[in-house]
Structure 1
Amino acid sequence: METCFLHHPEFTIENQDPKTIALGFFDGVHLGHQAVIKMAKQIADENGEKSAVLTFDPHPSVVLSKARKAVHYLTPLDEKLEKIEQLGIDIVYVVRFTAAFAELSPERFVEDYLIQLNAHHIVAGFDYSYGKKGAGKMEEMVSYAKGRFDVTIVNKQEAFDEKISSTKIRGAIEEGDLDTANELLGYPYKVKGTVIHGDKRGRTLGFPTANMQIDEDYLIPKLGIYAVRFIIGGKSYAGMASIGYNVTFKTDQERSIEVFILDFDREIYGEQAEIEWYHFFRSEMKFNGVEGLVEQLKQDEADTRAYFAQ
């Protein structure tokens, strides 16, 4: 897959092949997004054209919000591109979302981007908007096209009698409801990071853990204990993850993410790894002593093994 980064207003489009282009921010590349992208791929294949996606980075709220705030993604850009590539798309155009780009009128967005990219067909969700303050709606795209490209609008994709949306998925993850989040995503929610040194207390308890420094762009689930899969070196292992502050021992440390990897015994400090989140078991608990904590960890391990045995 070819990836092209465009910075408004000066950019050059080298590939002038006719294209079917899917439009969207696509954070999470969830089932709703997949419907749009797969439709674009299908139309492109039927017409013998290149399939393309036009997306943006960073999230518009980073630029448009008056309050400076960090934005945490379901799929930071690199992972979003990986998932789009898995859907068979030929080209992805990543527009740098800037204040100047945000001022484009809907008509200028069509002229300066879709026409310049040689779009022969545009595909987007029913609620996609474009141009300054999202003034352009998909029903109006045909009039802006002026016969130069076709337009397909993908209807609302639903689950649990609601629209599948990144906002819904984000809320589920923040509540620890990974079962719902994963069903809406169409795959297990995943974060990536580096294995770092911790205080090694888990070893003394019989539960050595991999402490993870997660890439800061990711959305992290709420505090608690989870069934996860830990992916390292191309292999996947069942595990139980803890997100918390080790309140039994400390109250002043930073939040940690630790994984007890089942049936695993290898030094992996400094290695890159991934965590797939599957199921929330319980909230973080403070114990009066080590004995109570160890008994609970044994139960957590049993619950984790039982979960994956299903």
Structure 2
Amino acid sequence: MQVIYLDEPFNKKIIYSAPTVLALGFFDGVHLGHQQVIRVAKKEAEKRGLKLAVMTLDRHPSIAFQNVPQNSVKYLTPLKRKLELFVKLGADITYVVALNEKIVPMGPQEFVDKYMVGLNAAAVVAGEDYTYGKKNIANMQTLAEYSKNRFEIITVPYLKKNGSKVGSTAVRKYIDTGDLSNANKLLGYTYQTSGVVVHGKQRGRKLGFPTINLNISNNERIPGEGIYAVKVTIVGKTVLGMASIGRNETFGKGQEQTVEINLFDFSQTVYSEEAVVQWYCKLREQQKFPDAKSLILQLKKDKQNTLNHFKEKQIGIYD
């Protein structure tokens, strides 16, 4: 997949020169609703014998339009992960638009002229709630007025599950409460994050449950505090494990939140290596134990419950 970064005013020479079918959206999470939009666009591209282009933004719209601090936004899918998912959905080209002070004041007509017609869109495909400016004037209902019959408009209805819209907001709420089962159902895949292995206080090693400690980017959304069944890919290996997101209150109050993972049947030293974590289910809430012995007994139960989860769901290492 070709990735093209656009910053206003962009150089027209870097644009793919032939007509494309253009799928539009921010696509945070690339959940089942987003996937439906991109699949509709892919089908249309194949019907026309054209390439599929996806256009997304380099930052969340709330940063530009609602003055939300950039470091406070927690993404379901940082750009690198989003691009990986676009590839799996068959995108040939992705345009990443810089949503900065040069593009925010742009009116809807200028945006359509530059970022739809200007990208050689033969057809534009987006969800029914897609906007390209102020939502009362720059929405899918008004797009025909701005397009002036220069491209076909395909509006994809909301995808619903159990009567509710599949959306990024719902996915975020599930992840924040640790409800990975429902989050993963809306995503259509197992939620994942990535981080670099850093040095910890090595308490787990002393307890007989050594852990890797992860430094995860501040802009990546992690599940709420608790104990989780996970699968981790690191140094080319994929292993099962149990993760703890919490503050280790058994060892004192006021400690910083950490992400620690006990990997099963794994003993390599992997400091500074990147680990990709797939989050399958929450085993229990965090709790403070009266002593180390009580904690060890619970950790043994957690490990067995993790193994039971993967066995019951018939999930193998590479599923």
Question: Quick check: 205-214 or 245-254, which moved more?
Answer: 245-254
Cα distance, 1:293 vs structure 2: 0.6
Q: 1:200 aligns with which of 199, 202, 216?
A: 202
Given that 1:130 and 1:137 are in contact with CA atoms closer than 8 Å, whether structure 2 keeps it comes out as yes
User: For the Cα contact (< 8 Å) 2:6–2:96, is it kept in 1?
Assistant: yes
User: Contact between 2:62 and 2:68, CA under 8 Å: does it hold in 1?
Assistant: no
Q: Residue 149 of structure 1 aligns to which amino acid in structure 2? A: F
- The aligned amino acid for 2:132 is Y
Partner residue of 2:104 out of 98, 102, 105: 102
Partner of 1:187: 189
Counterpart Cα distance in 2 of 1:65 and 1:14: 30
Q: Return structure 1 stretches of 4+ with deviation > 3 angstroms.
A: none
Q: Determine whether 1:6 maps to 2:6.
A: yes
In the TM superposition, residue 237 of structure 1 has moved relative to its aligned partner by 1.1
What residue number does 2:132 align with?
130
**In the alignment, is the contact (CA less than 8 A) between 1:107 and 1:131 conserved in 2?**
no
Distance 1:283 1:212 in 2: 20
- Give the alignment's TM-score, normalised by structure 1: 0.96
**Take 1:204 and 1:85, find their aligned partners in 2: how far apart are those partners?**
43
Q: CA deviation at 1:134?
A: 5.9
Shift of 1:70: 1.3
Q: Which residue of 1 aligns with 2:316?
A: none
1:56 is the counterpart of 2:52: no
* Shift, 1:265, TM fit: 1.8
Provide Cα deviations, 1:89-120, integer angstroms capped at 9, x if missing partner: 11111110013312222211111111111110
Q: CA deviation at 1:202?
A: 0.7
Query: How do 1:20-169 and structure 2 match up within 5 A?
Result: 20-68=21-69, 70-132=72-134, 135-169=137-171
8 Å CA contact 1:104, 1:132 repeated in 2: no
Instruction: Give the structure 2 partner of residue 280 of structure 1.
Output: 282
Measure how far apart 1:133 and its partner are.
5.1
* Stretch of structure 1 that moved more, 272-281 or 139-148: 139-148
Deviations 1:184-222 (A, max 9, x none): 001111000111111111111110111111122211111
Unaligned runs of 5+ in 1: none
Contact 1:102 1:133 (8 Å CA) reproduced: no
TM-score, normalised with respect to structure 2: 0.94
> Any unmatched runs of 5+ in structure 2?
313-319
Moved more, 32-41 or 65-74: 65-74
Give distance in 2, aligned partners of 1:254 and 1:2: 40
Distance in 2 (CA, whole Å) between partners of 1:289 and 1:130 is: 56
Of residues 20-29 and 275-284 in structure 1, the stretch that sits farther from structure 2 once superposed is 275-284
CA contact (8 A) 1:4 1:93 kept: yes
Note the alpha carbon deviations across 1:24-80, whole angstroms, 9 max, x for none.
000011110001111111111111111101111111111223453510100001111
Determine what percentage of the aligned residue pairs are the same residue. Answer: 45
CA distance in 2, matches of 1:45, 1:134: 33
Report the aligned-residue RMSD: 1.3
Instruction: Give me the whole-angstrom Cα distance separating, in 1, the residues matched to 2:162 and 2:293.
Output: 42
Quick check: 131-140 or 225-234, which moved more?
131-140
State the distance in 2 between where 1:252 and 1:171 align.
Answer: 26
Alpha-carbon separation, structure 2, partners of 1:67 and 1:308 = 39
Q: 1:306 aligns with which of 305, 308, 314?
A: 308
Aligned residues of 1:27 and 1:80 also touching (Cα < 8 A)? yes
Q: Give the AA of the match of 1:88.
A: G
